[in-house]
Amino acid sequence: MFLSTRRAVLAGCMSLGLLATTTASPAAPPAADPLPSWNAGPAKAAITTYVARVTAQGPEFVPPPERIAVFDNDGTLWAEQPIYFQFAFAMERIGQMVAKDPTLRQKPAFGAIADRDQAAMAKLSEKDLIEAVFAVQVGLTTAEYQAVARAWFDQARHPRFHMPYAALTYQPQLELLTYLRGAGFKTYIVSGGEVQFMRVFAEQAYGVPPEQVIGSSLTSKFEIRDGKGVLVSQPALGSMDDGAGKPSNIDLHIGRAPLVAVGNSDGDLQMLQYSASSTRPSLQILVHHDDAAREYAYDRQSKIGKLDKALDEAGVRGWTVVSMKSDWKTVFASKP
Amino acid sequence: MFLSTRRAVLAGCMSLGLLATTTASPAAPPAADPLPSWNAGPAKAAITTYVARVTAQGPEFVPPPERIAVFDNDGTLWAEQPIYFQFAFAMERIGQMVAKDPTLRQKPAFGAIADRDQAAMAKLSEKDLIEAVFAVQVGLTTAEYQAVARAWFDQARHPRFHMPYAALTYQPQLELLTYLRGAGFKTYIVSGGEVQFMRVFAEQAYGVPPEQVIGSSLTSKFEIRDGKGVLVSQPALGSMDDGAGKPSNIDLHIGRAPLVAVGNSDGDLQMLQYSASSTRPSLQILVHHDDAAREYAYDRQSKIGKLDKALDEAGVRGWTVVSMKSDWKTVFASKP
């Protein structure tokens, strides 16, 4: 079925109404533990040791402008099961679009998705599914599309946790973002999720401003409407920010190899390889979802967020693998 | 001839060896004139009045995260005559490539450019010329390409001013960049020039870090070479950052309409229109090259940096037009 597609196009969301209360990541007082939701252990030690190395005067000191940290989003900063949150949004939106205009059923995927026809959905190609996800924004201006997404965030609830998607960000990662920024790192999201969609929640949820969000995209066309210049999404892929597309987009948008790279799936492998290729000391982190009780447990066989090759490479290269179960004291920013 | 192409692909350069001495833009002490190379007049007043309006507490106050300023490069931050500096680089590079591998003559434009055959060059299509300019980087990693460009900057001299291209940045604009940053603006370059090329000089010349340089680009492919991840330029256009491509790229890279937009040609028209569409108070500036004695005089009929429609729109919409001749006390950062 459509869950089989691992294209991070099908990415995250967040209920803005709740962000102010769910994502507070209090600044740690000096000398206090900057990562209170991380248990002591090799992962936490790898992070704090690395930051100490590159910020202290000495041979490994890295000038602040070169301190770039990149984070995947789905499965790295918030949950991605049972389906990428952006895909949950797209499914609901497609249902609304088909109800309004039944001729849309002629498009591949639309009828199957609108009807929640599992058998028909299982037969869809990945191409059809990606087109369907992107189709919800074609013809809309950036502002119009973001308003639709925002409305969905405000009412959508996760099927298992019955929480707004906003609440399903990871508290330890919010602390890590804050800690790195405090150490002079510029923090970016580099995700397969669609870029304008992520910008609806990234600043409030993560403290990451729009210009530090990199994602998949459609092309856009500049038009003057009612005397105002707007960007209208076109039915053509701009870039797919997954796998090898991530380092390409990092090179295009940032122009430096990131020194810290954090991911959770094979779609992040090349981003971590690229980070590890820096001439500066660098740090690669993989979140391993091994906590079925508090979140989900999945890796090599998962259809969403498959972690297989990257896990092997982490072993060979000594990358830091974070066990959600043992390294994180708490999982979500807000209690389910 | 090839000069007829107004695609900012054919963009700027700079001799890094000289930057330290040529681009110093001393921070103004408080209360001192922040724009000492600007003559008093409507252009300077428009700039300082605008900055005062949006930074003072009151109904027009703009929160710092929204203070985004975008600058075109060629003809706006440095000279662009008699040809875009990046094209001067590409011509020299093509000559070297053809000398090394005569079979390259089979490619459109290569033989004509290598031979400096003006008649043959005049017959080339714009597509052939753009391909030739981009061809100098195809197959190179970002680092390799930037090393080639840097070597050119170190020895190239402008045909009229006999100066390194580095010296041909505009002193009043360096002051404007510094002034805006001091007022909390994040300053971006949004140019038709190729992005990796501009990054070779933008940080040292303008204080604009790589991640704030947006330009035209080829696609790139991630490869592992000698165990290191590198990005290799491919023979396919990623985006042409000119005209309507500028607001599209601003939306993709920045995600907010810029409040200050500075350009000098019709290729900047849509970027200025997009800036003027912001719901916040905004400022649009066009540099008018009307100073044949100190630099060049050109506008509506020019093959490089044509300023025609944008000049008309500036008149209708009240955008600020800067006369190089009367508004700028000095032109270049360094004396020719």
Residue of B nearest to A221 (CA): B248
Q: Is residue B315 predicted with pLDDT exceeding 50?
A: yes
E-state strands within A53-118: 68-71
Inter-residue contact B213 to B199 (CB < 8 Å): yes
Region of poorest pLDDT, from A322-336, B249-263, B286-300: A322-336
Low-confidence ranges of chain A (pLDDT < 70): 1-31, 336
At B243, which amino acid appears?
Answer: G
Question: What SS3 class is residue A331?
Answer: coil
Tell me the pLDDT tens digit for each residue of B150-181. Answer: 999 999 999 999 999 988 999 999 999 999 99
Q: Do B228 and A277 touch (CB under 8 A)?
A: yes
Tell me the pLDDT tens digit for each residue of A275-318. Answer: 999 999 999 999 999 999 999 999 999 989 999 999 999 999 99
Q: Which of B68, B190, B251, B278 to mutate to test the interface with A (most CBs of A within 10 A)?
A: B251
Model confidence at B239, in pLDDT bands (50, 70, 90)?
A: very high
Residue B261's CB: how many other CB atoms inside 10 A? 31
Q: What is the mean predicted confidence (pLDDT) over B237-241?
A: 95
Model confidence at B107, in pLDDT bands (50, 70, 90)?
A: confident
> Token pair for residue B134?
């981009």
Tell me the pLDDT tens digit for each residue of B12-31. Answer: 322 333 333 334 445 545 56
Question: What SS3 class is residue A70?
Answer: strand
Q: Which of A223, A252, A254, A280 to mutate to test the interface with B (most CBs of B within 10 A)?
A: A252
| Min Cα–Cα distance to chain A from B109, Å | 27
Q: What pLDDT score was predicted for residue B120?
A: 87
Q: Which of A201, A214, A223, A248 to mutate to test the interface with B (most CBs of B within 10 A)?
A: A248
Q: Hey, is the C-beta of B210 within 8 angstroms of any chain A C-beta?
A: yes
At B276, which amino acid appears?
Answer: A
Torsion angle, CA of B13/B19/B25/B26, rounded to 10 degrees? 170
Q: What pLDDT score was predicted for residue B172?
A: 98
Complex prediction ipTM: 0.90
Tell me the pLDDT tens digit for each residue of B212-222. Answer: 999 999 999 99
Q: Hey, is the C-beta of B219 within 8 angstroms of any chain A C-beta?
A: yes
| Min Cα–Cα distance to chain B from A248, Å | 6
Q: Hey, is the C-beta of B55 within 8 angstroms of any chain A C-beta?
A: no
B241: chain A residues, CB-CB within 8 Å: none
Q: What pLDDT score was predicted for residue B199?
A: 97
- Whole-angstrom Cα distance, residue B321 to residue B68? 20
Q: What is the mean predicted confidence (pLDDT) over B63-82?
A: 97
Q: Hey, is the C-beta of A270 within 8 angstroms of any chain B C-beta?
A: yes
A199: chain B residues, CB-CB within 8 Å: 255
Q: What is the mean predicted confidence (pLDDT) over B115-140?
A: 87
Q: What pLDDT score was predicted for residue B9?
A: 29
Inter-residue contact B145 to B151 (CB < 8 Å): no
> Token pair for residue B287?
């540099």
Q: Do A247 and B229 touch (CB under 8 A)?
A: yes
Inter-residue contact B166 to B22 (CB < 8 Å): yes
> Token pair for residue A303?
């259809």
Q: Do B244 and A222 touch (CB under 8 A)?
A: yes
Cα–Cα separations (whole angstroms), residue B186 to A109, B55, B203, B249, B330: 42, 14, 13, 16, 25
Tell me the pLDDT tens digit for each residue of A211-249. Answer: 999 999 999 999 999 999 999 999 999 999 999 999 999
Nearest by CB to B231, from A186, A219, A247: name it: A247
Half-sphere exposure at residue A266, Cβ-oriented, CA atoms within 13 angstroms: 14
| Min Cα–Cα distance to chain B from A153, Å | 19
Q: What pLDDT score was predicted for residue B17?
A: 32
Model confidence at B141, in pLDDT bands (50, 70, 90)?
A: very high
Q: Which of B190, B248, B269, B284 to mutate to test the interface with A (most CBs of A within 10 A)?
A: B248
- Whole-angstrom Cα distance, residue B248 to residue B246? 5
The span from the first CA to the last CA of chain A, in angstroms, equals 28
Q: Is residue B261 predicted with pLDDT exceeding 50?
A: yes
Q: Do B211 and A256 touch (CB under 8 A)?
A: yes
B196: chain A residues, CB-CB within 8 Å: 251, 255
- Residue-range domains of chain A with CATH: 8-83+167-327 (3.40.50.1000)
- Whole-angstrom Cα distance, residue A327 to residue A330? 9
Beta-carbon contacts of residue A112 (< 8 Å; ≥ 6 apart): A120, A121, A123, A124
Q: Hey, is the C-beta of A259 within 8 angstroms of any chain B C-beta?
A: no
β-pairing verdict for B260-263 and B283-288: parallel
Q: Do A229 and B254 touch (CB under 8 A)?
A: no
pTM: 0.90
| Min Cα–Cα distance to chain B from A264, Å | 19
Model confidence at B59, in pLDDT bands (50, 70, 90)?
A: very high
Cα–Cα separations (whole angstroms), residue B80 to B13, B90, B264: 10, 14, 10
